């Protein structure tokens, strides 16, 4: 009976000793890891000296000046070359800006971290984790911007509609683009919008973009006469690109007839001046021929059309 009790209790003693040994080893490993992390932090901080900080500031200033110089040079050259080469030259701007920023980051990391193969792997993993948790949206915008350089949903000089905004792309940055709206406001739109939103591009790297000008007339207006007037107005405008198609489209509504004049200006930047010119001269012709306007106007119906 005593032998049985001893043999039954023996494994329990061994298990207790194994548990104590395992707990002791775990504590030692945690302590060693904490000690290694503290030593690495001290070593990293010891490398941040006054001269290195000044050198880093100098690198940042030089990078900033290079980016500004490139922006000015690209815009200046694009306005002096032949009109059809303007947008092609502007496409160099985002590539050069991205390259300068990438080289600057690498130089700063090498300055403070003394990049070796092991350090690069460690830093890459750390940055990936940090970006994944703390800068998820920012990282998404940067990745979308890099993808956008190759897929080209928009380029500098394009007239686009994105994220409820419409305007000309005047700058392509690492995180987002800057649009100049018709009201002359500058709006910044993150690149990440291309993941979940549609992008409507009016000219896609070309100088010409179709302009649709709408005219509202009563049912009594002669549609053939109206179309003839609109064709003549478009053909005689100083802004019209005569080698591209001009089209008049008509649709009937309860309040009257809607005429849409579809045509192209010589330069997409003249979009609103062109539409204004067409509207003013068309209204003069309508008045001269006594063409009636709608007496009742259904705003909701015209918007949905």
How many structural domains does the chain have?
A: 1
- Report yes or no on 8 lying in a domain: no
Q: What residues form DSSP beta bridges with 226? A: none
User: The CATH number of the domain where 261 resides is what?
Assistant: 3.30.70.100
Q: State both tokens at 246.
A: 């001009």
- Which tens digits make up the pLDDT trace of 196-219? 888 888 888 787 889 999 999 999
Residue segments in the chain with a per-residue pLDDT below the cut of 50: 1-3, 5-10, 299
pLDDT at residue 42 in the model: 61
285 in any annotated domain? yes
Domain containing 218 equals: 211-304
269 located within any domain = yes
Please tell me the predicted confidence (pLDDT) of residue 148. 82
Residue 58 within any structural domain of the chain: no
Helix axes 136-151, 92-113, angle to 10 degrees: 140
Question: With left for phi above 0 and alpha for psi between -120 and 50, is residue 189 left, alpha or beta?
Answer: beta
Q: Work out the number of other CB atoms within 10 angstroms of the CB of residue 206.
A: 14
3-state SS assignment for residue 87: helix
Q: Quick one: pLDDT at residue 39?
A: 61
> Which residues contact residue 168 at a Cβ distance below 8 angstroms, ignoring those fewer than 6 apart?
157, 158, 159, 179, 180, 268, 269
The answer as to whether 258 is a domain residue is: yes
CB 302 within 8 A of CB 282: no
| Nearest to 263, CA basis, from 277, 283, 280, 253 | 277
Q: How many CB atoms lie within 10 A of CB 47?
A: 11
Q: What is the pLDDT of residue 134?
A: 58
Could you identify the residue written with the tokens 């609109």?
Answer: 230
Read off the pLDDT of residues 74-127 as tens digits, 9 standing for 90 and up. 878 877 776 666 767 777 777 788 788 888 888 887 777 666 666 666 666 666
pLDDT of residue 10: 47
Q: Look at residue 153 and tell me if it is in a domain.
A: no
Enter the tokens of residue 3: 């032998």
């Amino acid at each position: 009976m005593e032998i049985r009790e001893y043999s039954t209790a023996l494994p329990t003693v061994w298990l207790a000793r194994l548990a104590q040994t395992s707990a002791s080893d775990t504590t030692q490993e945690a302590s060693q890891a904490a000690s290694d992390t503290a030593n690495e932090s001290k070593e990293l901080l010891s490398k941040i000296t006054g001269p290195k900080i000044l050198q880093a500031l100098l690198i940042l200033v030089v990078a900033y000046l290079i980016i500004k110089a490139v922006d000015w040079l690209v815009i200046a050259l694009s306005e002096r070359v032949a009109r059809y080469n303007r947008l092609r030259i502007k496409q160099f701007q985002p590539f050069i800006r991205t390259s300068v920023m990438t080289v600057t980051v690498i130089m700063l990391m090498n300055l403070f971290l003394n990049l070796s193969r092991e350090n690069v792997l460690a830093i890459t993993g750390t940055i990936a984790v940090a970006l994944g948790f703390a800068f998820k949206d920012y990282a998404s915008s940067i990745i979308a911007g890099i993808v956008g350089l190759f897929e080209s949903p928009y380029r500098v000089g394009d007239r686009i509609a994105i994220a409820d905004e419409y305007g000309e792309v005047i700058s392509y940055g690492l995180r987002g683009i800057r649009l100049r709206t018709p009201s002359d406001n500058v709006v910044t739109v993150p690149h990440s919008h291309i993941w979940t939103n549609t992008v409507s591009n009016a000219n896609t790297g070309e100088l010409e973009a179709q302009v649709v000008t709408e005219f509202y007339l009563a049912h009594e207006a002669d549609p053939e006469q109206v179309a003839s007037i609109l064709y003549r107005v478009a053909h005689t405008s100083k802004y019209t690109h005569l080698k591209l198609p001009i089209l008049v489209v008509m649709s009937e509504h309860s309040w009257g007839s809607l005429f849409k004049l579809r045509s192209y200006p010589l330069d997409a930047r003249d979009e609103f001046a062109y539409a204004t010119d067409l509207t003013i001269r068309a209204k003069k012709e309508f008045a001269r021929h006594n063409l009636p306007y709608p007496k009742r106007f259904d705003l909701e119906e015209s918007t949905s059309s």
